[in-house]
Amino acid sequence: MSDDAEKLNDPDLQQVMKRRSLLRWSFSGVILGIYLLWGVCGVYFADFYAAPFFGNTLPIGLAMGFIIIVLAMIMSAVYVRLTNRLTTSKTEQSSG
């Protein structure tokens, strides 16, 4: 166990951990922040949310919801690519 702890001094590992942590919290913060903001704003700007989106009957609130779903999907795909590329032979077992 203490052997494991000593590996924290490894500069390679430190760098990967730093990048991973940056990705982890920025991605989490962005998607959760947008979701909560969208939800709470719906309480105060209900009429705006109900207004038509670009002249269609699709309301703005729902259109924003659809956009956030697509955003979450895109962010997930990007996150998997970025973090799985960060992996080095030294810091994480490769698959297969």
Partner 1 sequence: MGDDGVNITAISVFVAFVSLSLIITWWAAKRTHSTNDFYTAGSKITGVQNGLALAGDFMSAATFLGLTGLVFIGGSDAMIFTLGVTVSWAFLLFAFADRMRNLGRYTFADIVAYRLQPERMRILAAAGTLTVAIPYLIAQMVGAGSLIETLFNIPYFGAVMIVGTLMTVYVAFGGMLATTWVQVIKAVLLLSGGTLLLLLALSKFGFSIDSLFSRAADAHARGAGIFRPGGLYNDPISVISLALAFICGTAGLPHVLMRFFTVPDAREARKSIGYAVLIIGFFQFAIVLIGFAAIALLIENGEFVDEAGRISGGANMVSVYLSRIVGGELFFGLISAVAFATILAVVAGILLSASAAVAHDFYARVIRRGEISDEDEVRVSRWATVAIGATAIGLSMFFKNMNVGILSTIALAIAASVNFPAIFLALFWSGLTTRGAVAGGVTGLVVVIVLTILSPTIWVSVLGYQTAIYPYAYPTLFSVGAAFLVTIVVSKSDNSERAAADRAAYPAQLVRSETGDLL
List contacts with partner 1 (CB under 8 A): 1-2, 4-5, 7-8, 13, 16-17, 20, 23-25, 27-28, 31-32, 35-36, 38-40, 42-43, 46-47, 49-50, 56-59, 61-62, 65-66, 68-70, 72-73, 75-77, 79-80, 83-84, 87, 91-96
Q: Which is nearer to partner 1, 11 or 95 (CB)?
A: 95
Give dist(CA 67, CA 20) in Å, integer.
26
Cβ-based nearer residue to partner 1, 11 or 56: 56
Is 52 in a helix, a strand, or coil? Answer: strand
R_g over Cα of the chain:
20
Dihedral of alpha carbons 79, 81, 85, 91, sign: positive
Shortest distance in whole angstroms from residue 38 CB to partner 1:
7
- Could you tell me if 42 and 49 are in contact, meaning their C-beta atoms sit under 8 angstroms apart? yes
Nearest approach, Cβ of residue 16 and partner 1 (Å)? 7
